[in-house]
Structure 1
Amino acid sequence: MKATVVLGCCLIVAGNAGAAVAPVSFSSLLREMVDRDAAARRPAPAYTCAQASSYDRASTSPDKPETWWANGDRSHFVRSEKNEGREEWVLMDAAGPGAIVRFWITADKPAGQVRIYLDGAAAPAVVAPVEDLVGGTALVGPPLSAERARGRNLYLPIPYARHCKVTFDRPNFNVTKDRRDLLYYQINYRTYPAGTAVETFTPGSVERARALVAEVQSALLEPGRAVPAGLTGRDLARHVAPGETATLSVAGPGAIRRLAVQLQAANLELATRQTVLEAAFDGEEGLWCPVGDFFGSGVGVNPFKDWWREVTAERRFTSYWVMPYERAAEVRLRNAGKQPVEVTLRVEHGPWQWDGRSMHFRANWRQEGPLDARKKFDWNYLTAQGEGVYMGDTLCLVNPVLRWWGEGDEKVYVDGESFPSHFGTGTEDYYGYAWCTPQVFDSPFHAQPRAQGPNNFGHVTNTRVRLLDGIPFRTALRFDMEVWHSRPCEIPYAVATYWYARPGARAEPRPREDALQVFSFPAPAADIRTVSGALEGETLRVEAVSGGKTQVQAITAPRWSGGKQLWWMDGQPGDRLTLVFTVERAGRYQLQGEFTQARDYGAATVAVDAGPASAPIDFYSATLTTQVRDLGTHTLSAGPHRLTITLAAPNPRALPRRMIGIDYLKLTPASP
């Protein structure tokens, strides 16, 4: 009930924004974040959105192709400064009034301090360990601050009236010529026109708005709750033969506030790509996108939810994008494939006061390829002419090999810029994760609903939607993504883009029905090592973990059995991980395990059931490798048993992640 009240108040504030005199504040930005109506109107007050990042500074111009795709996108800064004996590296230095609206970061060492200086103050308004501030709980917890697939994200707004400077420091942080200390970052920030009243963030801002923060956090996790009551619903359910179109029309003025689709077909994956959702608002064609891509699922039904969309295992695709129209709207489902499809379409619409700030919803789609992904080139997501706000995208591709596909950076040019005001650090970084991690996750802001595997092979869907980090443009926007694979291969790329625009806007590339293919490649099974009799680490049941976190990791080197390992990280000495393995036949067994070793791995003891712990095993290595370890001989009954790993003091040369990686366990019959 509280979240509903906050959202309702938020709509009132946004609806009168043209006459409002209230300053931009921490609380107003939180309300705006969950105000869907505000996204469908020209921003008031106006703002621009730009990005500070660690992109490779060798990239200076597309006219210099030898450096334009430079890939050393880490540990580049505005400058360094001496402050109270510290060397602080400046990540962002921006004049206000403005607000930080997204902060993403990853590093090889989760250590160091982030300091945010506001309005020229000598003391920072925010100072916290990087892992606590971005992705941790220093200011706020999930979903506004969370680590997802190794990428650390903070979406809590930080407004400032005159100036913002963000710095990073770490003892002995040494940016060498080849930048061995790896710090990747992106900071998206708004800039308002001079004279815009903005209340600067203070250390007490979060506490004073604690109730509002909690309500916004809750609302973000339940996107359907923010849909107003009392909407009018229109339904369509029919058999759509190849080449046919099913249509629903509604009269205006009004706004579609929920749109839901269900599909049934002999080949459902094909139907999600070849059933096209189309829409026209006030006679302007504004939406042309395959159902799966539009809803962020990609090819197939891949359940997830964010603030704007939701996909369930029951094949229900739901959109919460607000779609205003002055006179009329028409929504269509076209079967562009060769199989019949059973479709259901529900459109829920309600009142909308159309005015000079109202914008139409737009969604475009394109697929191209397979593309030669080693050529390093900029692939256009969208080129828009007119006035509007860019609100997100869904990237779908099919990787024919196990190796990483996404070295490319986003480049966003606003209103004719010659150099992009958004220059990224890697495709997965743009989508909020890191280190090529093929882990399925979702959140209100970004998701990876599909990562087929093994490793980075197969169908991949990455999606990102924008709330406070939308990108306004007055006359034009061009969004490019570098295509850059780590191996010679060809890849099909498909992207859906979401944006709002004033009437009359135009976009390229134009939609093409002949591009609606679903690609597939044979899995390169020969590249996966298999150890006979292995109890794969990624299949062991985690019964308990007292500190840190566990996940399944899949990368191509080292060559783990089955291509994956069970990965435990960021625990403290004394923390325990208890795993359950099953013995098929009672007997006496030699127990061995293959474990990963690297420079950020820790040390641990190992015990079986209630038996004594082993001596500490050191998993530190200067290089990434694996080693088989003898875990003793044990008399084991048939059935489940427990393996307890307890973190010990790490090797002093190790980086402070205290990682443990279990490739597999293996039981070999031993002599009585």
Structure 2
Amino acid sequence: MLNDICRLQPGIRTKRISSYDRTGGNDDYIAIAAGTTAELAMMEGAGIVKHIWITLNCEDSFIRRNAIIRMYWDGEEEPSVESPLGDFFGQGFGEAYNFVSLPLAAAPQQGKALNSYFSMPYGKGARITLENQSAEPIKSFYYYIDYEVHPEMPETMGRFHASWRREITGVQKEVGENEWATLGASENNPSVAHNYVFADIAGSGHFVGINYYVDNPGPMWYGEGDDMWLIDGEDWPGSLHGTGTEDFFNSSWCPNETYAHPFFGYAKVPDRIGWMGRTHCYRFFLQDPIRFEKSLHASIEHGHDNCLTLDLSTVAYWYQTEPHLPYPALPAKELRGNMPVITERDVHLWRHEWRKAKGNASTLWGNEK
């Protein structure tokens, strides 16, 4: 990755657009009123965005989900990047926490400094915006956008894309949430029909990463789901077929601990009952991008045979030729909120209903069949 650091490249200039105080004072930020969109940067000609740094101050504790970042290349009208701010930079659920990877990071204090090191080329200009969909103003928004100016951009340079998706997944079989065959024999799933789709791409390019945020309302392991990749219109099982969610994220045996590798890891795990609660996994394909010439359909099961109800949200990252398919419309901010936290009280109520179903004997323990 450092091979080119010593290669001199005459004709390329380094520039920055930032929120510095134009008067020479120390008010080095902009304010973004509720319900408005700020243009953070407008670049002309050819270049590459090399680094973005952001921090912000807002009374809305959910601003990381209520603010939307968008990026446009080469005069396009539909953004190539569209995502809630926190989700894009590796903070799910509207929360602030530290996150470490090679291309993206949320740095101290407590993950309040958002960084991207993805290279983002453009040939005929670029524009980056931030929409504040909160009811509260962003009182101070600090940012750097560091970029290079190039004489021209080769046609072989793909354009950077990122798209946020979310789904409350449904149970597909009458037997119910049958993870680990707890409720009966498991069935097969020779299809992507009911999988959670995190990328549906038309064009030529390569896929380079995913942030995967899962909120699990039950204590059972959420991750028997296989990742499935259909390249250039091929049928199931496709060119790449996985063996389980944790395997896809380069870990094993149902992990529930934080771990940070430059390419993969677990930035957030729940401290609840079993695997109940919010988990953030990530995987970047920086040495092994998934290449496609015409299209890519990427999905993952939510539990084996799609047997679990989960709150899944993702940001997928890739490079491709333009034009790209329009992204699914972002849900209104009222529909982007978290699902309610399942509490110990809820679990106790489940137990109460189970006791009644078992005859309410005074010594029922909890594992009686």
TM-score category of the 2 structures, normalised to the smaller one: 0.7 to 0.9
Residue 365 of structure 1 contacts residue 495 of structure 1 at CA under 8 Å; is this kept in 2? yes
Residue identity opposite 1:317 in structure 2? L
* Paired residues, number: 308
User: Higher strand proportion, which one?
Assistant: 1
Residue identity opposite 1:524 in structure 2? E
Task: Give 1:306's match in structure 2, choosing from 85, 92, 101.
Answer: 101
Residue 296 of structure 1 contacts residue 309 of structure 1 at CA under 8 Å; is this kept in 2? yes
2:258 counterpart of 1:440: yes
Residue identity opposite 2:242 in structure 1? G
Q: Secondary structure at the match of 2:86?
A: helix
- Quote the offset at 1:274 in angstroms: 1.4
**Which residue number corresponds to residue 499 of structure 1?**
318
In the TM superposition, 1:256-655 aligns within 5 A as 256-268=49-61, 270-284=62-76, 285-299=79-93, 300-314=95-109, 315-342=112-139, 343-352=141-150, 353-369=152-168, 371-372=170-171, 374=177, 377-419=194-236, 420-454=238-272, 455-484=274-303, 490-514=309-333, 515-524=335-344
The share of aligned pairs that are identical, in percent, is 23
Alpha-carbon distance between aligned partners in 2 of 1:8 and 1:487, rounded to the nearest angstrom: 46
Larger radius of gyration: 1
- Quote the offset at 1:288 in angstroms: 0.1
With over 3 angstroms needed to count, the CA separation of the structure-2 counterparts of 1:481 and 1:487, relative to structure 1, is: closer
- Quote the offset at 1:384 in angstroms: 0.5
Residue 405 of structure 1 contacts residue 486 of structure 1 at CA under 8 Å; is this kept in 2? no
- Quote the offset at 1:460 in angstroms: 1.1
- Quote the offset at 1:335 in angstroms: 1.3
Q: Secondary structure at the match of 1:293?
A: helix
2:25 counterpart of 1:235: no
- Quote the offset at 1:265 in angstroms: 2.3
- Quote the offset at 1:304 in angstroms: 2.2
CA offsets per residue over residues 442-496 of structure 1, 9 Å max, x none? 1110121111222312111111111121011111000011112799763211110
- Quote the offset at 1:275 in angstroms: 1.1
Residue 382 of structure 1 contacts residue 509 of structure 1 at CA under 8 Å; is this kept in 2? no
Q: Secondary structure at the match of 2:322?
A: coil
- Quote the offset at 1:249 in angstroms: 1.1
**Which residue number corresponds to residue 22 of structure 2?**
none
Residue 275 of structure 1 contacts residue 337 of structure 1 at CA under 8 Å; is this kept in 2? yes
- TM-score, normalization: structure 1? 0.43
Alpha-carbon distance between aligned partners in 1 of 2:13 and 2:75, rounded to the nearest angstrom: 26
- Quote the offset at 1:527 in angstroms: 6.1
**Which residue number corresponds to residue 5 of structure 2?**
8
Residue 70 of structure 2 contacts residue 128 of structure 2 at CA under 8 Å; is this kept in 1? yes
CA offsets per residue over residues 587-620 of structure 1, 9 Å max, x none? xxxxxxxxxxxxxxxxxxxxxxxxxxxxxxxxxx
- Quote the offset at 1:354 in angstroms: 0.5
Alpha-carbon distance between aligned partners in 2 of 1:500 and 1:507, rounded to the nearest angstrom: 15
Residue identity opposite 2:124 in structure 1? R
Q: Secondary structure at the match of 1:255?
A: strand
With over 3 angstroms needed to count, the CA separation of the structure-2 counterparts of 1:322 and 1:513, relative to structure 1, is: farther
Residue 278 of structure 1 contacts residue 333 of structure 1 at CA under 8 Å; is this kept in 2? yes
Alpha-carbon distance between aligned partners in 2 of 1:487 and 1:416, rounded to the nearest angstrom: 22
Alpha-carbon distance between aligned partners in 1 of 2:155 and 2:305, rounded to the nearest angstrom: 48
Q: Secondary structure at the match of 1:509?
A: coil
Residue 226 of structure 2 contacts residue 304 of structure 2 at CA under 8 Å; is this kept in 1? no
Instruction: Specify every segment of 5 or more residues in structure 2 that has no aligned partner in the other structure, as ranges.
Output: 20-28, 179-188, 349-369
**Which residue number corresponds to residue 362 of structure 2?**
none
With over 3 angstroms needed to count, the CA separation of the structure-2 counterparts of 1:488 and 1:364, relative to structure 1, is: closer
Residue 171 of structure 2 contacts residue 306 of structure 2 at CA under 8 Å; is this kept in 1? no
Cα root mean square deviation, aligned: 2.6
With over 3 angstroms needed to count, the CA separation of the structure-2 counterparts of 1:267 and 1:403, relative to structure 1, is: farther
Alpha-carbon distance between aligned partners in 1 of 2:305 and 2:293, rounded to the nearest angstrom: 37
Alpha-carbon distance between aligned partners in 1 of 2:86 and 2:332, rounded to the nearest angstrom: 15
Q: Secondary structure at the match of 1:518?
A: coil
Alpha-carbon distance between aligned partners in 1 of 2:125 and 2:312, rounded to the nearest angstrom: 34
Alpha-carbon distance between aligned partners in 2 of 1:485 and 1:241, rounded to the nearest angstrom: 45
Alpha-carbon distance between aligned partners in 2 of 1:488 and 1:426, rounded to the nearest angstrom: 14
**Which residue number corresponds to residue 87 of structure 1?**
none
Alpha-carbon distance between aligned partners in 1 of 2:305 and 2:48, rounded to the nearest angstrom: 45
With over 3 angstroms needed to count, the CA separation of the structure-2 counterparts of 1:333 and 1:505, relative to structure 1, is: same
CA offsets per residue over residues 115-148 of structure 1, 9 Å max, x none? xxxxxxxxxxxxxxxxxxxxxxxxxxxxxxxxxx
Residue 440 of structure 1 contacts residue 451 of structure 1 at CA under 8 Å; is this kept in 2? yes
**Which residue number corresponds to residue 357 of structure 2?**
none
Query: Which is bigger in relative contact order (C-alpha 8 A, separation at least 6)?
Result: 2
Alpha-carbon distance between aligned partners in 1 of 2:250 and 2:202, rounded to the nearest angstrom: 28
- Quote the offset at 1:506 in angstroms: 1.9
Residue 404 of structure 1 contacts residue 485 of structure 1 at CA under 8 Å; is this kept in 2? no
Residue identity opposite 1:484 in structure 2? G
